[in-house]
Structure 1
Amino acid sequence: MTTFRIAVIGGTGPQGKGLAYRFAKHGHEVIVGSRAAEKAEPIATEIAERITSEGGSPVVSGSANADAAAAADVVLLAVPFNGHDELVESLAEQLAGKTIISCVNPLGFDKGGPYGLDVERSAAEAAAAIVPTASVVGAFHHVAAASLWSQDDYLDHEDVLVCGDSTEAKETAQELARAVTSRIGIDAGKLRLARQLEPLTAVLISINKKYKVRSGISISGL
């Protein structure tokens, strides 16, 4: 298995923490990133202690976002859409030339429930425009944070959809999907399709609320 050094920017949030746990549990080196190192370090310790209690030997650390991104081979963005562009701009130097995986969802919430925001470009496309030398893919949008932090060894009832314009970057994200679902992620097409994948998360949230479940995406026919 190919292993990576992965910076999870937004690693103190539920989605980032869950993905950091899954990656570290399955042999990848993980750096939990936050705006301040003192916020990231306790989360890194919590993840490491949990994996150790499960019999693993994790390599997990916590750091400020810029230091985490600079030290990593792959950078996963798991941050709120509000403020996303400003954060990516602040890390442009550290992100240059790297593989970036975006699981950011531009969502809104009102009395009618969740919905996809009407944006000019997807979060993944925005990251690609801000850091043009990076290889950006969209992935892991539809995996629930609670499922990622659950006791399940793998979320093998779900698929991870990956979109991007770089074949190599997509293959990296597809390989990382094994740490979550136990199987390779699915190539879902070009980066522009993040415009459809990101807001689809609102549909899953609505299903979860209606049926009291943690729904996911599963692709038939492959």
Structure 2
Amino acid sequence: MNAPTSSDSSSDGAVDPTTLTVGVLGGTGNQGQGLALRWARAGIEVIVGSRAAERAENSAKEYCQAAGVDHVRGADNATCASEADVVVAAVPWESHAETLRGLADQLKGKIVVDCVVPIGFDKKGPYPLPVEEGSAAQQAEQLLPESRVTAAFHNVSAVLLADLEQDRVDCDVLVLGDDREATDVVRALADAIPGVRGIYGGRLRNAYQVECLTANLIAINRRYKVHAGIKITDLE
């Protein structure tokens, strides 16, 4: 399936993420690993993508063992993008544009979740990098004009995601995008992770400040030796 249909929803209209196959480009990196593990543990079929298929296949075997499942597999990025229903871009910022540009055909019509953070480090600490298009997500939108681009999972700790001894990951995930059906699907993927709550955070043009917030969280983590996230108040 390339998009959720009514048969993929629960009785209250919410999307059932276990009906989806989620591809994670950069699934061998820290953030990609954490998301893949949590979704696999939640019963979602996951394809780990990498530039090298063998590396992705080896990581997928490790994730299956760690999560106690058999529904994670590895593939090169092109296969991952082609065979998944929803594709998460968790690649390094330095290869963001090149990777997505090369996968435009495979990603046509698909929900793409960009969680890439353009960030730099110097002796003063982490800081957000300027992006000509406005944000990493907006760059993805320009590179993938026929995809349904959203932005999410920037501010959730990769360390906590990957630590399956932690039953819950206590944070909210802001989901941004102009396609409300697509953002609902991504919110459901966030909700599938115990303790995480997916919240619509506005249009894709607002992704920059959400990406930038990661620099603040890294500074907090370093200062207080924690794995900080965000929580939105006054929502049930």
Q: Same fold (TM over 0.5)?
A: yes
**Is 1:219 aligned with 2:235?**
no
Q: Structure 1's 183 and 206: CA in aligned 2 closer, same or farther, altered over 3 A?
A: closer
Aligned to 1:101: 113
Pick from 180, 183, 187: which aligns with 1:174?
A: 187
Contact 2:135-2:211 within 8 A present in 1 as well? yes
Pick from 77, 88, 91: which aligns with 1:79?
A: 91
Report SS of the residue matched to 2:184.
Answer: helix
Contact 2:173-2:196 within 8 A present in 1 as well? no
Pick from 186, 194, 213: which aligns with 2:207?
A: 194
Equivalence map 1:92-131=2 (5 Å):
92-120=104-132, 121-131=134-144
Aligned to 2:38: 22
Gaps of 5+ in 1: none
Q: CA deviation at 1:182?
A: 3.8
Instruction: Tell me the TM-score normalized by structure 2.
Output: 0.89
Contact 2:171-2:195 within 8 A present in 1 as well? no
Q: Deviations over 1:89-109 (max 9, x none)?
A: 011111111000010001011
Aligned to 2:17: 2
Q: CA deviation at 1:130?
A: 0.8
AA in 1 matched with 2:78: A
Gaps of 5+ in 2: 1-15
Q: Deviations over 1:137-164 (max 9, x none)?
A: 1100011111101111221x21011010
Pick from 67, 77, 80: which aligns with 1:51?
A: 67
Report SS of the residue matched to 2:228.
Answer: coil
Q: CA deviation at 1:58?
A: 3.8
Pick from 70, 90, 93: which aligns with 2:82?
A: 70
Write the distance in 2 (CA, Å) between the matches of 1:2 and 1:101: 14
Instruction: Find runs of 4+ consecutive structure 1 residues off by over 3 angstroms.
Output: 181-184
RMSD between aligned alpha carbons? 1.1
Q: CA deviation at 1:184?
A: 4.0
Report SS of the residue matched to 1:93.
Answer: coil
Pick from 124, 136, 146: which aligns with 1:133?
A: 146
Equivalent residues, number: 217
AA in 2 matched with 1:153: D
Contact 2:120-2:129 within 8 A present in 1 as well? yes
Write the distance in 2 (CA, Å) between the matches of 1:26 and 1:106: 29
Contact 2:168-2:196 within 8 A present in 1 as well? no
Report SS of the residue matched to 1:143.
Answer: coil
User: Taking every aligned residue pair, what percent have the same amino acid on both sides?
Assistant: 49
Q: Deviations over 1:7-48 (max 9, x none)?
A: 100000011011000111101100000001101011100110
Instruction: Tell me the TM-score normalized by structure 1.
Output: 0.95
